[in-house]
């Protein structure tokens, strides 16, 4: 039996992060009306109608969204190309969004000098170095002015002039503060005293950042800066201090290879991303990381940089190991003290997960397993995914890239027989993320299953009759227990049921049971054991077996004859109990058994 061409419309509704099918209709207008009604009556945030058509020629389901209503998809926080934040007074440069804008506009210069936007705007020396470049400030000011004019319609040249005036004001104030001696000097021993002295100062965050710049000026690497700042920090310090540290260290974490250096060498990108996921939640396991480092002692620097991409910079073995800075960061994130740092780690993870680099060196199954392992590490105790919809979108997009004809074809090349191709696709199914990706997988699975080669193998060539039946039944059970869409599960399940029925008919399985048994009791016993033992598929196959058993069970005196083999009452009771358990295992609990 082959699935027939058909069209139906699925009504889907969203509450929270998940989409749920709330109805199916054969009529488009009815489906759209139902979607509108469900949005109101069900309190859903969004609804949509998806047209599903089965194409008999290709053996695949074609999906098309024909209607949607509800909240617009918000822009992912991992998307690039954010518009610069408008600055109207010098203090805007020091805001969180202002520093983010500066960091984006001057990314190349800051990376080359191994400083952050925060360090730049708190240091006259770094500002002077920026001015010496000649074009960096001009380029950045023009970008901001053009972006703002496109948004508001303002005059570009006038806005350029205004921004330059703001830059000069901010630069003059910064220079004056440093020359006047207002900027505090910080040492490892004086941090607590400095915190106390600045506690009531309205400009305490500005002063602390300036102090950090002076304190870190002699550091040779970004990691050394992170280590020094975290060594001063404890969870007991005032919130404003932790906020300054959070922003300062968060920016430092965006440095090239910085995250990789903190988590140490890992066994490929998948392991590295799992470690970042753990660190972003304050759940990094010291024993696990140390074992990973030991296992990768001979890795090349290119492999060691898996988590941050190949930047072209090499890292020494000493740099690619966890240290006190790693565990200080982990513990402070665990206490909820450094949310910005956690977000930066999460952002780095999303950026790398969205790339094309493989998670493992294994086959498609290992790659998919690594992806679901990463999802598991990003899921908290309440089932919420760190990063929400944005992170899920990144992971589902990566999963989608696995489901192409070249990758699937290469994965199936190692299959031992036609049926093994279906088995291999079923093995990756639990690791396929997202409803759309599940549909894509099913569109590979169904044509493979209904092919003439696969049918011939399952029905005629795969071992003896019982082996064929058990194999087909096991495949169907795996399909029915999968996360595939109900329509696909039904089509696949019905096909496998038809194959099992073909095996039964072509080999006269039920007739041979009757002929070879020693009577009704033995026939029923064998049939029930076969039902319980997974020989029959759900559907027509198991229905036929149960019907055959019922013909004997309904005959008068069957139970007495069945129990007559017992030598005494106690043995008869045990046999009856065993028979009742067999009925339950065979799915025939509603069956009455005829007595004398």
Do residues 295 and 341 both lie within one domain?
Answer: yes
Residue numbers of the domain that contains 499: 405-506
Helix/strand/coil percentages in the chain, nearest 5: 60, 5, 30
Higher local confidence (pLDDT), 390 or 5? 390
Please, which contacts does 243-248 make with residues 24 or more away whose CB atoms are closer than 8 Å?
A: 243/205, 244/205, 244/208, 244/209, 244/212, 245/338, 246/337, 246/338, 246/339, 246/340, 246/341, 247/96, 247/99, 247/118, 247/340, 248/116, 248/118, 248/209, 248/212
Instruction: Answer whether 433's CB lies under 8 Å from 396's CB.
Output: yes
Q: pLDDT digit string (tens) for 407-424?
A: 999 999 999 999 999 999
Q: Is residue 396 part of a domain?
A: no
544 and 467 fall within a common domain: no
At 592 the pLDDT is: 54
Residue 123 lies in a domain: yes
Q: Mind listing the pLDDT tens digit for each residue in 75-99?
A: 555 444 455 556 677 788 888 888 8
Q: Give every CB contact of residue 168 below 8 A, 6+ residues apart in sequence.
A: none
Is 392 inside any structural domain?
Answer: no
Q: Is residue 204 part of a domain?
A: yes
**pLDDT band with cut points at 50, 70 and 90 for residue 430:** very high
- Yes or no: say if 281 and 334 are a contact pair by the CB < 8 Å rule: yes
Judge if 245 and 370 occupy the same domain.
yes
The pLDDT value recorded for residue 422 is: 96
348 and 245 fall within a common domain? yes
Q: Are residues 97 and 200 in the same domain?
A: yes
The pairing of beta strand 46-55 with beta strand 7-15: antiparallel
Does the pLDDT value for residue 10 go beyond 60?
Answer: yes
Q: Find the mean pLDDT for residues 312-324.
A: 59
Whole-number average pLDDT of the chain: 85
- Mean pLDDT over 63-71 rounds to 77
pLDDT of residue 3: 38
Asked whether residue 544 is domain-assigned, the answer is yes
What percent of the chain is modeled with pLDDT above 90? 53
**Given this model, what pLDDT does residue 487 score?**
93
| Claim to verify: residue 363 and residue 415 sit in the same structural domain | no
Strand partners, 46: 14, 70
Query: Using 50, 70 and 90 to split pLDDT, how confident is the model at 145?
Result: confident
Is the model's pLDDT at 285 over the cut of 70? yes
**Least confident among 72-81, 104-113, 123-132, 163-172:** 72-81
pLDDT at 70: 79
- 385 part of a folded domain: no
Structural domain contains residue 80: no
Q: What is the pLDDT of residue 72?
A: 56
Q: Are 9 and 26 in contact (CB under 8 A)?
A: yes
User: Residue 293 — pLDDT band, cuts 50, 70, 90?
Assistant: low
pLDDT beyond 80 at 74: no
Structure tokens at 258: 């910085």
Read off the pLDDT band of 471 (50, 70, 90). very high
Q: Answer whether residue 4 shows pLDDT above 50.
A: no
User: What does the pLDDT read at residue 87?
Assistant: 66
Stretch 159-185: mean pLDDT, rounded? 89
Residue range 309-329: average pLDDT?
Answer: 65
CA distance 225 to 201: 25
Strand partners, 63: 52
Res 518 pLDDT > 60? yes
Mean pLDDT of 474-498: 95
pLDDT per residue over 531-568, tens digit each? 999 999 999 999 999 999 999 888 888 888 888 888 88
Does one domain contain both 450 and 346?
Answer: no
Q: How many percent of the chain have pLDDT more than 70? A: 86
Write down the pLDDT at residue 499. 97
Q: Are residues 445 and 535 in the same domain?
A: no
Identify whether residues 270 and 368 lie together within a single domain. Answer: yes
Q: Each residue of 206-243: pLDDT tens digit?
A: 999 999 999 999 998 999 999 999 999 999 999 999 99
| Residue 45 CB neighbour total at 10 angstroms | 11
What is the pLDDT, as a whole number, of residue 288? 64
Asked whether residue 97 falls in the same domain as residue 199, the answer is yes
Q: For residue 591, is pLDDT > 60?
A: no
- Residue 311 predicted with pLDDT over 50: no
Q: Which residue has the tokens 């000097």?
A: 185
Question: Number of folded domains in the chain?
Answer: 5
Q: What are the φ and ψ backbone dihedral angles of 87, each rounded to 5 degrees?
A: -115, 125
Question: What pLDDT sits at residue 382?
Answer: 83
In the 3-class helix/strand/coil scheme, how is 288-354 assigned residue by residue?
HHHHHHHHCCCCCHHHHCCCCCCCCCCCCCCCCCCCHHHHHHHHHHHCCCCHHHHHHHHHHHHHHHC
Same domain, 420 and 494: yes
| pLDDT of the residue at 264 | 83
Q: Is residue 448 part of a domain?
A: yes
Residue 45's pLDDT is 79
Mean pLDDT of 94-108: 86
Same domain, yes or no: 490 and 543: no
Cα separation, 369 vs 373, whole angstroms: 6
Last residue in a domain, options 379, 413, 446? 379
Domain boundary among the residues 163, 192, 221 is at 221
Residue 43: is its pLDDT beyond 70? yes
């Amino acid at each position: 039996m082959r699935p027939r061409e058909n069209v139906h419309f699925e009504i889907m509704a969203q509450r929270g992060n998940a989409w749920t099918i709330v109805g199916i209709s054969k009529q488009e207008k009815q489906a759209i009306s139902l979607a509108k009604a469900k949005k109101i009556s069900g309190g859903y945030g969004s609804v949509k109608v998806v047209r599903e058509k089965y194409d008999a020629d290709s053996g695949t389901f074609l999906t098309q969204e024909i209607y949607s209503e509800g909240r617009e998809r918000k822009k992912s926080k991992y998307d690039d190309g954010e518009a610069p934040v408008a600055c109207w007074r010098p203090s805007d440069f020091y805001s969180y969004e202002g520093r983010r804008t500066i960091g984006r506009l001057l990314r190349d210069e800051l990376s080359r000098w191994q400083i952050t936007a925060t360090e730049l705007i708190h240091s006259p020396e770094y500002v002077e170095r920026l001015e010496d470049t000649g074009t960096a400030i001009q380029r950045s000011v023009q970008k901001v002015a053009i972006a703002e004019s496109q948004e508001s319609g303002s005059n570009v040249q006038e806005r350029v002039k205004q921004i330059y005036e703001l830059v000069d004001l901010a630069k003059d104030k910064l220079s004056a503060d440093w020359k006047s001696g207002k900027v505090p000097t910080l040492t490892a021993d004086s941090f607590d005293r400095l915190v106390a002295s600045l506690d009531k100062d309205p400009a305490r965050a500005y002063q602390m950042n300036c102090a950090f710049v002076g304190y870190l000026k002699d550091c040779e690497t970004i990691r050394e800066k992170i280590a020094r700042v975290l060594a001063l920090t404890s969870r007991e310090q005032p919130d404003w201090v932790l906020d300054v540290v959070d922003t300062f260290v968060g920016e430092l974490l965006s440095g090239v290879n910085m995250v990789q250096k903190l988590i140490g060498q890992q066994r490929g990108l998948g392991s590295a991303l799992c470690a970042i996921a753990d660190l972003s939640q304050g759940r990094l396991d010291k024993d696990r990381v140390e074992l990973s480092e030991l296992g990768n002692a001979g890795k090349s620097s290119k492999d060691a940089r898996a988590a941050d991409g190949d930047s072209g910079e090499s890292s020494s073995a000493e740099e690619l190991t966890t240290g006190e800075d790693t565990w200080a960061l982990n513990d402070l994130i665990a206490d909820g003290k450094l949310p910005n740092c956690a977000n930066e780690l999460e952002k780095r993870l999303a950026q790398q997960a969205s790339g094309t680099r493989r998670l493992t060196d294994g086959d498609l199954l290992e790659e998919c397993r690594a992806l679901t392992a990463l999802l598991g590490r990003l899921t908290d105790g309440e089932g919420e995914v760190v990063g929400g919809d944005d992170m899920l979108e990144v992971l589902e997009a990566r999963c989608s890239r696995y489901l192409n004809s070249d990758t699937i074809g290469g994965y199936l090349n190692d299959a031992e027989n036609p049926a093994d191709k279906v088995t291999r696709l079923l093995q990756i199914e639990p690791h396929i993320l997202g409803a759309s990706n599940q549909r894509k997988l099913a569109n590979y699975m169904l044509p493979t299953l209904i092919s003439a080669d696969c049918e011939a193998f399952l029905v005629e060539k795969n071992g003896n009759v019982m082996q064929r039946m058990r194999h087909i039944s096991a495949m169907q059970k795996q399909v029915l227990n999968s996360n595939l869409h109900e329509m696909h599960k039904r089509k696949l399940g019905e096909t496998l049921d038809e194959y099992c029925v073909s095996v039964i008919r072509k080999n006269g399985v039920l007739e041979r049971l009757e002929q070879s048994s020693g009577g009704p009791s033995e026939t029923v016993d064998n049939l029930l054991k076969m039902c319980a033992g997974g020989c029959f598929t759900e559907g027509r196959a198991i229905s036929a077996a149960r019907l055959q058993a019922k013909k004997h069970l309904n005959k008068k005196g069957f139970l007495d004859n069945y129990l007559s083999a017992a030598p005494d009452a106690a043995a008869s009771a045990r046999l009856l109990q065993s028979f009742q358990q067999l009925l339950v295992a065979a799915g025939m609990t509603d069956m009455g058994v005829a007595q004398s």
